[in-house]
Structure 1
Amino acid sequence: MPITICRLYDSYADARRVIVALEVAGLPSSETSMISNNSDAWYVATESTNIVPLRKQDASSETARDGKFEGAAVGVAIGATAATAASLVTMLALPGIGAVVGMGWFAAILGSMAIGGVTGGLLGALTNAGINEEDAHVFAEGVRRGGTLIAARVPPAEVPRIDSIMNRSAVRLQERCELYRRSGWQAFDPNAVPYTADQVRNERALRTN
């Protein structure tokens, strides 16, 4: 039975490089997934994008001028294999997080939950995938604050090898949890107001500079 490994990245670029490394290492693209905060509309949908209509996404030409990815270019950017699945990019509005863009099996699960009206959001999906609850709270809060989550389904024998690849540039979860707690945070709150675009940009600047 596959084991789910999740890692959080402050930079989408770091997460993208890990996706490419996993493909090069032989992990099928069908077993990797990505969820990235899109509150600042860095990703703009095209006609080929599978959009779950939970939130109207603002599209702006400024996204392209800023050198960020548009439409199916996200698929191209994360590797040749994943490029063929660009049409599977999904846009969602998650409780407590707001707009996210996702790709792969985990994003499909979130989309199915949203369409079916199933509660739980990202936190519920993580715990259902086998992630312990304490870590799931930090992962969800990290995405809320602008981060990118990668989830991979891995055969037990491959866990050490894939784990070492996914650790590259990943957030040290315990350290991040302690940092959040020092500011008064206790747990991810799906009822919280999502971060604004400016708050997400500021949070990313704090973590990536």
Structure 2
Amino acid sequence: MRTVTGLFDTRDQANRAVEALEVAEIPGADISIISPGDEEASGTAEGVGIGAAVGGAGGLLAGLGAFAIPGIGPFIGAGWLASTLIGVAAGGVAGGLLGSLTDAGVDERDAHVYAEGMRRGGTLVTARVDDAHVDAAAAILGQSGSVDIADRRSEYETTGWSGYDEAPASELDPLGSRPILPGLPQ
């Protein structure tokens, strides 16, 4: 099994990607979605879960749950990677967000960009697929609006970013929702 990952700027794009992966018969047990959590996200989780239960589509989305990622804040998620991160949040798994991504098979250089994208409000979708389905799953994520990871890395680097740092809460803004990063509006 290989891990195919996409970072999305909106939850709607990510939700469409999950639904398209399910239509492509990638088992829900092999798909994960992780999105920033707040009051809106909690309502989205409930709404998506209710909509999926009533509409019969998006089975994975029906299982969204809330948790916190140390150093970043609240998230909602479902699937195997979300379960791993819940373990990280509870202190039961070592390695944090970067370790969870790289342990899942995400290239370390890309894992930094995905983690930073999540810190900045992006939604992550991952799928574990066999080698024969890697290209199809990657195409689905791309067609659903995932960001070009190389372009996003370049964009971050223009602000002085050199990699994701699992900063302690003391280095976050007063609301604890994002890191204080040099060169970015606070």
Query: What is the deviation of 1:31?
Result: 1.1
CA 1:199/1:94 → structure 2, altered by over 3 Å: closer, same or farther? closer
* 2:152 corresponds to: 176
SS of the residue aligned with 2:44?
Answer: coil
Aligned partner of 1:127 in structure 2 is 102
Q: Name the amino acid aligned to 1:187.
A: G
Label 1:161 to 1:70 Cα distance change in 2 as closer, same or farther (>3 A): closer
Map Cα deviations across residues 106-137 of structure 1 (whole Å, 9 max, x no partner): 10111123224433222110011111111000
**Aligned twin of 1:151:** 126
Bigger drift between 174-183 and 190-199 goes to: 190-199
Shift of 1:81: 4.6
CA distance in 2 between partners of 1:105 and 1:17 (Å): 18
TM-score, normalising length: structure 2: 0.82
Partner of 1:96 in structure 2? 71
Tell me, yes or no, if the aligned pair for 2:70 and 2:89 is still in contact at 8 Å. no
| Contact 1:16 1:77 (8 Å CA) reproduced | no
1:75 aligns with 2:49: yes
Could you tell me how far apart the structure 2 residues matched to 1:28 and 1:76 are? 20
**Distance (whole Å) between structure 2 residues aligned to residue 95 and residue 84 of structure 1:** 24
Within 5 Å, give how 1:1-209 maps onto structure 2. 2-38=1-37, 40-44=38-42, 69-71=44-46, 73-77=47-51, 80-83=56-59, 86=62, 88-168=63-143, 169-191=145-167, 193-194=171-172, 196=175
Q: Distance in 2 between matches of 1:17 and 1:70?
A: 14
Give me the CA root mean square deviation: 2.4
Is there any run of 5+ residues in structure 2 with no aligned partner, and where?
180-186
Measured in 2, the distance between the counterparts of 1:99 and 1:77 equals 23
Task: List alignment gaps of at least 5 residues for structure 1.
Answer: 45-67, 201-209
Count of residues paired in the alignment: 173
Structure 2 counterpart of 1:51: none
Q: 1:198 and 1:107, CA in 2 relative to 1: closer, same or farther beyond 3 A?
A: closer
